[in-house]
């Protein structure tokens, strides 16, 4: 295998496909201390034990928000790569509290509406409210479309799509009653363009964009904003694992260094995989007053890769 073949294969159908608006350089990403504009606010973050979820939670906490981390923090047997653990969730809580804010770490499954509703009620009673929602929890499944079983289809749709629907459903009464709030959903570059290696994952992320726009229409009159994020190649355990690396190209197992080269080739800016803090900074922006007139929109985070795709 040559790296040029690898790049070509992934560029035409891998997880790296999609639209993006370029890396957002924030105070957090540059190592500076951001303003504490979210003092007294509370954020609910699903899949918050690691990766992009934790990156978003830290960006909000660095700006003063109290955080409720909601994560399954255990292995789902049907998922063929390691999910976050109880130790990951505990470490995430410690990292959040280092920002001088309160943090609740709650173990739960986004497929369980009642568990999400109970956790949000705890956010209100123990942290003082519910202002920001980051619906981030999700799994991925590389493979060809014809190989997915009924059980595999149900699993990814139940977590990636129905889980986000349930997050929004659980938050809606609280946000509507107070007449304010910001919901940030996590789509993907594969929600902007098809992917032959991640076809079902891609379908759920396209659906997240439709859900986001529909929720923005439904909740806008109550003062609640809803927007979606579409990262490209962000370095997280979702991609950095043996299962994904061995299924990106049929019959080939990529090394991480090869995948990093692919990322550098795809991104227009001179970067490879970027850190979750760049996604977190955009999520924080969408929760801020600076974005008060933005709802129903989709923000691509892709180091300029979106310049290669139609508007």
**What are the backbone angles phi and psi of residue 156, rounded to the nearest 5°?**
-70, -35
> What is each CA distance from 252 to 6, 165, 235, 242, in whole angstroms?
9, 36, 20, 12
User: In this structure, what token pair is assigned to residue 73?
Assistant: 């923090």
User: Looking up tokens 């960006």, which residue turns up?
Assistant: 59
**Active-site residue (options: 81, 201, 274, 278):** 201
Closest CA to 229 of 157, 161, 283: 283
User: In this structure, what token pair is assigned to residue 124?
Assistant: 């209100």
Closest CA to 159 of 68, 56, 238: 238
Q: How many CA atoms lie within 13 A of 216 on its CB side?
A: 19
CA torsion angle for 168, 300, 308, 204 (degrees, to 10)? Answer: -20
164 within 8 A of 185, measured Cβ to Cβ? yes
DSSP per-residue codes, 31-43:
TPPPP-TTTT-EE
pTM of the predicted structure, to 2 decimals: 0.89
User: Looking up tokens 């990093």, which residue turns up?
Assistant: 260
Residue 198 neighbours by CB under 8 Å, 6+ apart = 14, 15, 140, 141, 142, 190
- Long-range contact pairs involving 253-257 (C-beta distance under 8 Å, separation at least 24): 254/6
pLDDT computed for residue 33 by the predictor: 63
pLDDT mean by block of 10 residues, the chain; 311 residues: 40 35 41 83 98 98 98 97 98 98 98 98 98 98 94 98 98 98 96 91 98 98 98 93 87 90 93 97 98 97 86 71
User: In this structure, what token pair is assigned to residue 281?
Assistant: 């900074």
Handedness of CA 53, 56, 59, 60 (dihedral sign): negative
Q: Quick check: is 274 catalytic?
A: no
Query: Domains in the chain, ordered, with CATH?
Result: 3-299 (3.40.50.720)
Centre a 10 Å sphere on the Cβ of residue 201 and count the other Cβ atoms it contains.
Answer: 24
Identify the H or E element spanning 107: strand 103-107
């Amino acid at each position: 295998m040559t790296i040029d073949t690898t790049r070509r294969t992934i560029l035409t159908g891998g997880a790296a496909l999609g639209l993006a608006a370029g890396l957002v350089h924030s105070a957090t990403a540059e190592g500076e201390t951001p303003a504490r504009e979210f003092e007294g606010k509370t954020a609910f973050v699903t899949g918050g034990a690691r990766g992009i979820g934790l990156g978003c939670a830290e960006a909000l906490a660095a700006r003063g928000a109290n955080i409720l981390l909601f994560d399954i923090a255990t292995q789902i047997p049907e998922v063929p790569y390691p999910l976050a653990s109880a130790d990951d969730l505990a470490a995430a809580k410690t990292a959040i509290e280092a920002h001088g804010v309160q943090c609740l770490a709650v173990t739960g499954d986004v497929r369980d509406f009642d568990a999400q509703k109970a956790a949000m009620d705890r956010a209100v009673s123990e942290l003082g409210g519910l202002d920001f929602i980051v619906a981030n929890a999700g799994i991925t499944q590389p493979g060809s479309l014809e190989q997915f079983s009924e059980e595999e289809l149900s699993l990814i749709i139940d977590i990636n799509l129905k889980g986000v629907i349930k997050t929004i459903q659980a938050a809606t009464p609280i946000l509507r009653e107070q007449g304010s709030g910001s919901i940030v959903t996590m789509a993907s570059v594969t929600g902007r363009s098809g992917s032959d290696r991640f076809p079902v994952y891609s379908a759920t992320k396209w659906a997240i964009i439709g859900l986001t726009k529909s929720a923005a229409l439904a909740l806008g009159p109550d003062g609640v904003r809803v927007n979606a994020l579409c990262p490209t190649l962000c370095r997280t355990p979702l991609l950095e694992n043996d299962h994904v690396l061995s299924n990106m190209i049929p019959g080939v197992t990529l090394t991480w260094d090869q995948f990093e080269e692919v990322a550098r080739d795809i991104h227009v800016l001179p970067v490879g995989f970027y850190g979750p803090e760049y996604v977190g900074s955009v999520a924080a922006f969408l929760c801020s007053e600076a974005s008060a007139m933005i709802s129903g929109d989709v923000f691509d985070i892709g180091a300029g890769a979106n310049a290669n795709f139609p508007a």
